[in-house]
Amino acid sequence: MPELPEVETTRRGISPHITGQLIEQVIVRDRRLRWPVPVGLEQRITGQKIHGVSRRAKYLLLHLDDCELIVHLGMSGNLRFLPDSTAAATHDHVDWVFATGTLRLNDPRRFGCVLLTKHAATHRLIAKLGPEPLDSGFTTEHLQAACQGRKVAIKQLLMNAHVVVGIGNIYASEALFRAGINPRRAAGNISRERLHALVAAVRAVLEESIEQGGTTLRDFVGGDGRPGYFRIALKVYERAAEPCERCGAPIRRIVQGQRATYYCVECQR
DNA sequence: ATCGGGACCTGCTTGC
DNA sequence: TGCAAGCAGGTCCCGA
């Protein structure tokens, strides 16, 4: 489900509600996620305070007294703060209960995770990630170095979290459209000038989406339960056969690495 | 080192 | 109406 803008929207939605709050109770209804929710998590963190919620790539990090929780929403997860008690539904995996309400993780496809660690920054899932696309570390030089000698398609390289994090299937297509680059082009065969444009396009599309609360295609809701409104701003994603906004040619859908890619054959070379 | 593909899941839509 | 196939916002891990 969520790419960086949706995870960031979730973070902003839940953070004010739980930061500074004491965890009164933890309810795990279904430990089955991508990796099982650790046995004993409930006792381990009950009574601890949430000192803040940060984000690294698509991981949400909850900072507690003496440990950190790594939460990933996978393809279909959402994390919501519920001020009033609401009966749990199917696929509600974990509740964190506070005096002011409940933080609840729902994840039908179970590709998400809830993990416990001392220091998330050194955790194996996080330690080797590439730079954040909205931070200063994501530069033309960095992208150029990552592309050097690579034969993979630029779209697949953009989605590689060891190169740059947070860009999933929607925003990879959208950023390449903005930059005018064919998603199938070999990464190593793109000029520095065009990579410079791509860096700017990635930043712009992610920032604009965050402003709109992310993209809701089917079922995404942010921490407050509201959908994101960036879908109407998508230029190519899920627009196969529709006319390109720029040139009128029909948007094409192809498959790369088992994922759908959308692009304009005229505007993107 | 790089790459391609399979794996992990449920639920919705589409087509026969 | 029923059923099977295809598709969906992620990413780890394996073998070549």
Domains of chain A: 4-122 (3.20.190.10), 140-264 (1.10.8.50)
- Mean pLDDT confidence for A18-42: 98
A12 and A101 in contact (C-beta within 8 Å)? no
Which nucleotide comes closest to A78 if you measure CA to C1'?
C9
Q: Which residue is nearest to nucleotide B10 (CA to C1')?
A: A109
Nearest of A259, A202, A228, A231 to residue A8 by alpha carbon: A228
Residue A128 has pLDDT above 70, yes or no: yes
What's the Å distance between residue A150 CA and nucleotide C10 C1'? 23
Res A212: pLDDT? 96
DSSP conformational letter for A215: B
Compute φ and ψ for A107, nearest 5 degrees.
-155, 90
Asked if residue A160 has pLDDT above 90, the reply is yes
pTM of the predicted structure, to 2 decimals: 0.97
What's the confidence (pLDDT) of residue A51?
Answer: 98
- b/e per residue A84-114 (b: at least 16 CB within 10 A): eeeeeeebbbbbbbbeebbbbbbbbebebbb
Distance C2 C1' – A68 CA (angstroms): 48
**How confident is the model over A212-230, as a mean pLDDT?**
92
Residue A85 banded pLDDT, cuts 50, 70, 90? confident
Tokens of A258: 């088992």
Residue A136 Cβ under 7 A from any strand B atom = no
Taking the C-alpha atoms of residue A162 and residue A240, their distance in angstroms, rounded to an integer, is 29
What mean pLDDT is reported for chain A? 97
- Residue A13, pLDDT > 90, answer yes
Q: Checking DSSP bridges between strand A68-72 and strand A25-28, what pairing results, if any?
A: unpaired
What are the C-alpha distances in Å from A159 to residues A13, A95, A100, A155? 25, 31, 38, 7
Confidence of residue A1 (pLDDT cuts 50, 70, 90): low
pLDDT band at A219; cut points 50, 70, 90? confident
Q: What are the beta bridge partners of residue A95?
A: A27, A104
C-alpha–C-alpha distance, residues A269 and A117, integer Å: 45
Give me the residue label for tokens 């409104």.
A229
pLDDT of residue A218: 87
Is the separation of the CB atoms in A126 and A139 below 8 Å? no
Across the range A32-45, mean pLDDT stands at 97
